[in-house]
Amino acid sequence: MHKIGFIGTGEIGNPMAEQILKANYPLVIFDVNKKAAENLLQQGASWAASVAEVAQQSDIVFTSLPGPAELDAVINGANGLLAGAHEDLIHVDLSTCSIVSVKKARAQELAAGVRFLDAPVSGGAVGARAGSLSVMVSGDPAAFEVAEIVIKSFGENIFYLGEDSGKGTMAKLVNNAIFFAVAQVVQEGLVLGEKAGFDLNELHKILKVSSSAAHLGMVPLFLSRNFEKGFTVKLAEKDLAMALESARELKTTLPAINAAHQTYLKSIAMDKGDKMFAATLEVLEQQAGL
């Protein structure tokens, strides 16, 4: 049985690592915040003193990180993955990063004999706890054949998109761009109704049986106004920014997604960056004088 390493045991990384443990794989873990991994240690995971130590002890290393800067630090840090790498080590990055960052990571690791897969996930912490995530993978095909069985411990819908590194990342950026832009459109509609004097719960009843119904899955979340925990405004802004960066490289215009991005930037400027992405509703309401 392969020895598995896991780096980044935050909100979504932790339940993914837990699913790997439940599948009875030996697991060694590291996070900059050891408290974030306490439940995993109690369930039998081993603690490593550094990223390099995780790499030394593992056949496959998974990373779940906030973004490109953290991925670069994990790979190239003084006690990073390359410092502890051995021949045929497989690195599966589950983060949502930029195309540039994953292509750079693959080139650096290939030179060191490490096989790299970019494999961002969708479904959030709820999907991770249920083992039902969607996983979008690209990179070394032989590495995917080895890693797939472990990915199945937390992924229900696994898509291998070929050897071209970055295809998995691009699929995730498209998904998130649609998700967050649609969220903004729905919130703007609610704000318009609220400004016109509607009770939003009553308006929701109307919309649910009208032509916009297909886009209203997030409305109960918005109306709950419980925005303190979850996928943050800062992470949503980062994902939209990377989608726009990719669009520039591909000479593609994304006017609606660009407009949505501006609201996320405004929300960060108004100190809502650490709230759930849905807290942009508060910004739109404030701008409307509500």
- Give the domain CATH number at 209: 1.10.1040.10
Q: Are residues 181 and 155 both part of a single domain? A: no
From CA 56, how far away is CA 48, in angstroms rounded? Answer: 10
Opening angle at CA 50, ends 46 and 52, nearest 5: 105
Query: How much is the pLDDT for 90?
Result: 98
Q: What is the average pLDDT across 4-21?
A: 97
pLDDT, tens digit, for every residue of 128-172? Answer: 999 999 999 999 999 999 999 999 999 999 999 999 999 999 999
Q: Are residues 22 and 80 both part of a single domain? A: yes
Q: What share of the chain is helix, strand, coil (3-state, %, to 5)?
A: 55, 15, 30
Nearest to residue 80, comparing CAs of 151, 147, 5? 5
- Domain end position, chosen among 93, 128, 163: 163
Number of compact structural domains in the chain: 2
Query: How much is the pLDDT for 52?
Result: 97
* Mean pLDDT of all residues belonging to the chain: 95
Q: Are residues 70 and 18 both part of a single domain? A: yes
Q: Are residues 258 and 177 both part of a single domain? A: yes
- Other beta carbons less than 10 A from residue 219's beta carbon: 21
From CA 39, how far away is CA 51, in angstroms rounded? Answer: 19
pLDDT at 185 over 90: yes
Catalytic residues: 172
Token pair for residue 2? Answer: 């392969």
pLDDT, tens digit, for every residue of 43-102? Answer: 999 999 999 999 999 999 999 999 999 999 999 999 999 999 998 999 999 999 999 999
In sequence order, what are the beta bridge partners of 138?
Answer: 118
Nearest to residue 14, comparing CAs of 71, 80, 64? 64
Helices 99-111, 167-195: axis angle to 10 degrees equals 160
Q: Are residues 123 and 208 both part of a single domain? A: no
- Domain end position, chosen among 163, 185, 213: 163
Query: How much is the pLDDT for 111?
Result: 94
Q: What is the average pLDDT across 22-31?
A: 97
pLDDT, tens digit, for every residue of 237-266? Answer: 999 999 999 999 889 999 999 999 999 999
Rg (CA), the chain: 20
pLDDT at 1 over 90: no
How many C-alpha atoms does 46 have within 13 Å on its Cβ side?
Answer: 15
Q: Are residues 23 and 140 both part of a single domain? A: yes
In sequence order, what are the beta bridge partners of 90?
Answer: 60, 115
From CA 196, how far away is CA 108, in angstroms rounded? Answer: 56
Q: Are residues 95 and 48 both part of a single domain? A: yes
Q: Are residues 19 and 132 both part of a single domain? A: yes
- Domain end position, chosen among 105, 128, 163: 163
Q: What range defines the domain where residue 143 resides?
A: 4-163
In sequence order, what are the beta bridge partners of 7?
Answer: 30, 63
Token pair for residue 141? Answer: 């095909």
From CA 135, how far away is CA 282, in angstroms rounded? Answer: 32
Q: Are residues 179 and 239 both part of a single domain? A: yes
- Give the domain CATH number at 102: 3.40.50.720
Token pair for residue 76? Answer: 């190239």
Question: Is residue 72 within 8 Å of 102, Cβ to Cβ?
Answer: no
pTM for this prediction: 0.91
Q: Are residues 26 and 133 both part of a single domain? A: yes
Q: Are residues 194 and 151 both part of a single domain? A: no
Q: Are residues 203 and 280 both part of a single domain? A: yes
